[in-house]
Amino acid sequence: MRVSEYFDLKLEQPALDFVDVHIDTDTLLFIDPTALHTLDTEWGVKARSMIQDYFSLVLDLTRRGEEIKAKALLSVLNEPNETRLGYSAEKPRGHGMGKKLAETMWQALKDSAALSSGVIHDLEDTALMIDGVASDVISDIVTNIIREPLLEYTQAMCAEYGIPMKEVASRPLWNTVDNKWETRPVLQPVVNDTRLMLVPKALVRRSITYQADNYYNLYLLEKIQDEHVAQGFVRLLKDGTVRPPTKTSLRQEYGNADKNNNRRLTVGREEVIEKYRKDKQENPKEPLRHSQVAEVTETPEPDWDRMLNDLESIKAGTAHAKKYEEIIKQLFTAIFYPWLMFPTSQERIHDGRKIIDITYMNMAQDDFFSWLANRYPAQYIMVECKNYSEDPDNPALDQLSGRFSPRRGKFGILVCRKITNKQRFADRCRDTANDDRGYIVGLDDADIKELIETVRNGEKDKRLDILRDKFKKLVM
């Protein structure tokens, strides 16, 4: 039974922002810490800072030989079964940390020239250099360190979807102020006497971005090839072309891809791992597509026709406004995945004096929302729902633009049932943009249907053309 079934959410995975895991076994997915670099929001920055703060302290203690303190910090990291992610309970579980791996990690770090030379800098580096550390262990470590942000996310999703919570004593939470683990009462869903912690599906992968063999084959060996060329050790082809030594010949000389060779060959070539970090942070593994999430979680892919029929079956008018807003949230959560995450309904701002119908975090790595975030304030995308058929007027636009700010973002979508005079509405949106009050695009039922078709077809350069075209009219 899944979370959605257990709590009778009447929603399927595409309309849910979190991974709809089984409550009694694990789903073979892992939290990728590199994915957090795509989240330029308060939540994402907090999570990244906690990981860096914790691991920097562990490295510092290890370099100073403070074994007891380092092991004490590491030994708290146990298998976080709250998320129901990782290796299934019917199979050998991931290592977790605990005392055994805490000892292993300590010894590996203490004895490694890679640590003393500064090669190991980030938590993800251990996946390249430390034996026994791979996707499962990194995911477990990250889950432990960012448990507090994940609990905040869980609490927000419980409020969003009506999932009941209980007050329980937390598992260890990392305190970045006092640099220690602590526990305190928290609100958390409990299933069969076991805590549950929800994880955004946009942050999970089948394996993490950092891979030891990828680092060795595509970065270290290519650096060594360049060194051989600089020293004059090259291959001369029959046509006179000069080529570097083959990677096959270099593997015969330096060894195959393994973590010992990564540690050994990176020392003195620190620029290689610096380049690897930069490349991976700028280009982490892409979020799983709907089809991939469906395959791993054994859940349905989006039923676009059903969701569109649900939308079209809602009658216009204030009496059905709440139902309309709910189906828009379901549709947008599915349509705009993986670009937008963390949907929040009825977000109150200005001490509760103003309400945003639906707010999303913008974590896009590509397409329209990524382009938007790189050029305009667009940390959050705000959605205003108007369940009426007449064209939105200036007060409706003013209402949405009044929710914008440099910190929240200055882009929003006004959704209504039908825009008859689209040119006049576009002119009103352009007036708002020209007055520096933000950027608003409007979508009606026909636009949403077109948007679904382009997303369903999956052509990368055309998926969000309708938004691109509408935005272009605001600034051209």
| Nearest alpha carbon to residue 358 among 388, 387, 391, 380 | 380
Mean pLDDT of 415-442: 94
Q: Specify the DSSP class assigned to residue 14.
A: G
Strands 380-386 and 411-416: parallel
Domains and CATH numbers, the chain: 3-205 (no CATH), 212-282 (no CATH), 302-475 (3.40.91.30)
Long-range contacts of 426-430 (CB under 8 A, 24+ apart): 426/470, 426/473, 426/474, 428/392, 428/393, 428/394, 428/397, 429/397, 429/470, 429/473, 429/474, 430/473, 430/474
3-state secondary structure of 459: coil
| Signed CA dihedral, 304, 441, 463, 15: sign only | negative
Whole-structure pTM value: 0.91
Q: What is the pLDDT of residues 229-268, one digit of tens each?
A: 998 887 878 776 878 899 999 999 999 999 999 999 998 9
Token reading at 347: 């977000």
Q: What pLDDT shows up at residue 23?
A: 93
Mean pLDDT of 359-375: 92
Q: What is the pLDDT of residues 5-57, one digit of tens each?
A: 999 999 999 999 999 999 999 999 999 999 998 888 889 999 999 999 999 99
Q: What pLDDT shows up at residue 93?
A: 47
User: Is the bond preceding 300 in cis, omega lying within 30 degrees of 0?
Assistant: no
Token reading at 8: 């009778």
Q: What pLDDT shows up at residue 110?
A: 76
Token reading at 110: 């203490």
Q: Specify the DSSP class assigned to residue 351.
A: T
Q: Above 50 in pLDDT, residue 269?
A: yes
Average pLDDT, the chain: 91
Q: What pLDDT shows up at residue 348?
A: 87
Confidence grade of residue 476 (pLDDT, cut at 50, 70, 90): confident
Confidence grade of residue 95 (pLDDT, cut at 50, 70, 90): very low
Confidence grade of residue 94 (pLDDT, cut at 50, 70, 90): very low
